[in-house]
């Protein structure tokens, strides 16, 4: 059975994944309005993935005898100053999620909850991939340069390419 502390931590993770999903959805909308269609597609896809993460944890909690709680999430931000700012926020956010997953893994290890420990391994790998992808997207801004509309167009194309290679 699931220890109360682990259940709480998992529900907190549900909330975090839900926040991720809504945040990426909001970013996708901004990109679409600004004409960065490839980045928008990347972020719409990512919002879906995060919802998938949320549900995966949600169902796990109930499967092992806990009570999964639909999250109350704080209001999301709707406007941004630049495309780069969006992806810097994405990276920052993923780093935060990785830290939270690692804390959960550590707790399960310390308290010998091997079932949850095992369940979380998928997320450890997923976070490694997502952080790596977010860093590669930031690199695109530095490599291409943001000084011209042509540069911004190319950056958007490249982000789309990275997203679909994922
Ligand atoms: Fe971005 O992996 Fe979940 O949060």
End-to-end CA distance of the chain: 36
Residue nearest ligand 1's atom 1 by CA: 94
Report the separation in Å between the CA atom of 161 and the middle of ligand 1, taken as the mean of its atom positions.
Answer: 20
Q: Does ligand 1 lie within 6 Å of residue 97's CB atom?
A: yes
pLDDT value at residue 58: 98
Q: How many CB atoms within 10 Å of residue 145?
A: 12
66, pLDDT greater than 80: yes
18 lines ligand 1 (CB under 6 A): no
Q: How far apart are CA 145 and CA 84, in angstroms?
A: 11
Q: Work out the average pLDDT over 101-127.
A: 98
Is the confidence at residue 166, as pLDDT, over 80?
no
Residue 145 CA to residue 152 CA, distance in Å, equals 8
DSSP summary character for residue 148: S
pTM of the entire structure? Answer: 0.94
């Amino acid at each position: 059975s699931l220890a109360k502390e682990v259940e709480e931590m998992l529900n907190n993770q549900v909330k975090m994944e839900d926040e991720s999903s809504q945040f990426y959805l909001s970013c996708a909308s901004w990109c679409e309005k600004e004409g960065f269609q490839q980045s928008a597609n990347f972020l719409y896809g990512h919002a879906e993935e995060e919802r998938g993460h949320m549900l995966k944890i949600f169902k796990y909690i109930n499967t092992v005898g806990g009570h999964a709680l639909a999250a109350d999430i704080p209001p999301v931000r709707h406007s941004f100053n630049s495309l780069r700012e969006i992806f810097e926020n994405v990276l920052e956010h993923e780093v935060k999620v990785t830290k939270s997953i690692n804390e959960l893994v550590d707790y399960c290890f310390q308290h010998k909850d091997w079932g949850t420990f095992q369940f979380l391994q998928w997320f450890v790998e997923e976070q490694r991939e997502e952080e790596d992808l977010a860093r590669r997207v930031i690199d695109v801004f530095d490599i291409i340069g943001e000084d011209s509309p042509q540069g911004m167009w190319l950056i958007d194309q490249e982000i789309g390419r990275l997203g679909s290679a994922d």
